[in-house]
């Protein structure tokens, strides 16, 4: 990044692809490109992460949601939301998937979807 300081602390960046068959897509990226799975629970969850070359980047395979979405994993979801709103961006409400993830959505200056995610704010325990 440039010499400017930002209040957002990035942990990982993902690019999400929408897939019809999570198992098939997972196998494709493992076998054809040699990508290692970094997170996968089961096909019912609808999400699989594979490590991309380079530090801190991942491919997200999404069977139940959008594809073609650049996703930033951040330390402070609420603080990042407030910062982006302060920059004049319209943000969605935060969605909580208990024990999995919390996130909100924005669009960039060209209308492309972006997603900001963080650790789950809601747990079942």
Mind listing the domains of the chain with CATH numbers?
10-118 (3.10.180.10)
Residue 2's pLDDT is what?
A: 57
Cα–Cα–Cα angle for 80, 1, 87, rounded to 5 degrees = 35
Instruction: Specify the residue for token string 């999404």.
Output: 62
Band of the pLDDT at 19, cuts 50, 70, 90?
A: very high
Q: What is the pLDDT of residues 81-122, one digit of tens each?
A: 999 999 999 999 999 999 999 999 999 987 889 999 999 999
CA distance 108 to 88: 11
Considering the entire predicted model, what is its pTM?
A: 0.82
Residue 5's pLDDT is what?
A: 73
CA distance 47 to 18: 10
Band of the pLDDT at 3, cuts 50, 70, 90?
A: low
List all residues 6 or more positions away from 33 whose beta carbon is below 8 Å from its beta carbon.
none
What's the Rg (C-alpha) of the chain?
Answer: 15
């Amino acid at each position: 990044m440039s010499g400017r300081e930002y209040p957002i602390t990035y942990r990982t960046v993902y690019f999400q692809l929408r897939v019809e068959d999570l198992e098939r897509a997972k196998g494709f990226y493992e076998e054809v490109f040699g990508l290692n799975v970094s997170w996968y629970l089961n096909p019912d969850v609808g999400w699989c992460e594979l490590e991309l070359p380079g530090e801190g980047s991942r491919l997200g395979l999404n069977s139940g949601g959008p594809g073609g979405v650049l996703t930033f994993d951040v330390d402070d979801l609420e603080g990042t939301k407030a910062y982006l709103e302060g920059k004049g961006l319209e943000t969605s409400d935060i969605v909580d998937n208990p024990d999995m993830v919390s996130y909100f959505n924005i669009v960039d200056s060209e209308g492309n979807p972006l997603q900001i995610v963080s650790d789950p704010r809601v747990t079942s325990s």
